[in-house]
Amino acid sequence: MAVQAESDATLFSNMKSIMSLVDRLRDFKLDNYISLPRITVLGEQSAGKSSILEAVVGMNFLPRGSGVVTRRPLELRLKKVNVPVPYFIFARDFPNKKITSQEEVCETIEQLTDKVAGTEKFISNEPIVLEVYSPTVPDLSLVDLPGITRIPIGKQPANIEEITKGLIRQYCDSPDSLILCVIPANIDITTSDALLFARQLDPSGS
C-alpha cells in the first residue's frame, strides 16, 4: 500500500507539472503553432455554463445578467494549493495582484471585458486568464466560451451567430480540445443547437 501511495503521489505531481507547462506554453502563444490540450465549455446563451464552472470551483465569482454576459473567452486555471484563504490572480492583466474578494473578481472580469470588447455587447476572441488558488479545487484548466447567439442585440453585427460560432470553433476544433457541452435541463436534448454544433466539431465523439 505504501508503494502504491508513493506511486500515486508521483503521478499526481507529474500531472501538475505537465499542466503548469501547458499553461506556460499557452502564455507564450505557442498554441498558435502547436496543439495544446484543454477543456472548452460550449453552450448556448444563458445555458448555465457559469453555474457549472462555479460549482467546479466552489465559489461564486462570475458575472451574471440577461443577454450576452460572456463576451471574451475566460481561461480558468485551477491550482490546488494549501492556503488558508483562496485567492485569484488575473495572470495577464494583473500578475502581481492577489484578489480574495469574489465580488472584486466579478467586477474585474466585467471591466476587462468592456476594455477589449467595448460596452455595446461586442465579442472578442482575446481571452481573460484567471488563476484560482484554493485547497478545494481540482488541478484543472478550462475555457469558458461566449454562448452561441442567434439574435443580435444593441450594436452587435447582424451575423453575430456566425461570429460566436467562429470563435467557438477556434477553441474547440482542435483534436486536443475536450468539449464540455452544457445543455439546460428544461429543454429537449434532441433540439439543442449546442449539442448539434459540438457533434459537428467532433463527429466521432473521440
Q: What is the pLDDT of residues 109-166, one digit of tens each?
A: 999 999 999 888 889 999 999 999 999 998 888 999 998 888 888 788 889 889 999 9
The angle formed by the CA atoms of residues 149, 155 and 158, to the nearest 5 degrees, is: 50
Separation of CA 127 from chain center: 9
Question: In terms of pTM, does the model score above 0.95?
Answer: no
C-alpha cell belonging to residue 91: 495572470
Using the CB atoms, write b or e for 48-60: b if 16+ within 10 Å: bbbebbeebbebe
Closest CA to 86 of 130, 137, 51: 137
The answer to whether residue 41 scores a pLDDT higher than 60 is yes
Count other C-beta atoms under 10 Å from residue 115's C-beta.
Answer: 13
Backbone angles phi, psi at 154, to 5 degrees: 60, -130
Half-sphere exposure of 26 (CA within 13 A, CB side): 23
Distance, in Å, from the CA atom of 46 to the CA atom of 49, rounded to the nearest integer, reads 7
**Residue 141 near residue 78 (C-beta atoms within 8 A):** yes
Percent of the chain whose predicted confidence (pLDDT) is above 70: 80
